[in-house]
């Protein structure tokens, strides 16, 4: 477990940042009075998510790898962070649905149906805690691995196979 201390720490940080973002969305009305803008503005989280991975892999390189990191080391670390985030995603969805924004699903369903964007049944199926848990458990790790692959490429400091100190 100690071997993955940095990755667990950054997985927890990522989840914390995600919950703060959810709170900001709710406080700015994106889960209620401005729900029509939610689909657009929620995408602003992407650069923040990428930044967390950049900070995480920089920390891994500095703390655990003596300032030197191969692409593979960075990628593996990022994948482990992504797994931690995936495991924590259902908890994050529960906290969001029950604590941060308990009326989000109801509001999203009402908006979609009132604006003829979807049927009641389809909206209820899509905007549900179960569906969001499934989506986040899949989407978060997949996007984390893709992000890790790119970030590790830019943060690598030594070529593969270089064992010199």
Four-residue CA torsion sign, 164, 144, 14, 24: positive
pLDDT for residue 1: 66
In this predicted structure, what is the pLDDT of residue 154?
96
Q: Where are the domains of the chain?
A: 2-155
Query: Burial letters for 39-48: b for 16+ Cβ neighbours within 10 Å, e otherwise?
Result: eeeeeeeeee
Question: Can you give the pLDDT at residue 2?
Answer: 81
Specify the pLDDT at position 103: 97
- What is the pLDDT, as a whole number, of residue 145? 97
**Rounded Cα gap, residues 58 and 65, in angstroms:** 10
Q: What is the pLDDT of residue 158?
A: 73
- What pTM value is reported for the model? 0.92
The token pair at 155 is 């943060």
Mean pLDDT, consecutive 10-residue stretches, the chain (165 aa), reads 92 98 98 97 97 98 96 98 98 98 98 97 97 97 97 88 57
Buried-exposed string 50-84: b where 16+ CB fall within 10 A, e elsewhere? eebbeebbebbbeeebeeebbbebbbebbbbbbbb
Please give the pLDDT value at position 130: 98
């Amino acid at each position: 477990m100690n071997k993955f201390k940095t990755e667990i720490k950054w997985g927890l940080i990522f989840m914390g940042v995600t919950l703060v973002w959810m709170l900001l969305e709710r406080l700015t009305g994106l889960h209620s009075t401005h729900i029509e803008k939610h689909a657009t503005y929620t995408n602003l989280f992407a650069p923040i998510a990428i930044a967390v991975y950049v900070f995480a892999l920089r920390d891994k390189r500095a703390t655990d790898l003596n300032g030197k990191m191969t692409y593979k080391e960075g990628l593996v670390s990022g994948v482990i962070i992504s797994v931690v985030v995936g495991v924590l995603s259902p908890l994050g969805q529960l906290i969001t649905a029950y604590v941060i924004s308990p009326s989000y699903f109801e509001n999203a369903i009402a908006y979609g149906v009132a604006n003829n964007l979807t049927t009641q049944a389809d909206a209820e199926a899509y905007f549900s805690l179960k569906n969001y848990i499934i989506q986040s458990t899949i989407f978060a790790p997949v996007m984390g691995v893709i992000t890790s692959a790119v970030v590790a490429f830019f943060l690598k400091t030594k070529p593969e196979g270089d064992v010199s100190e």
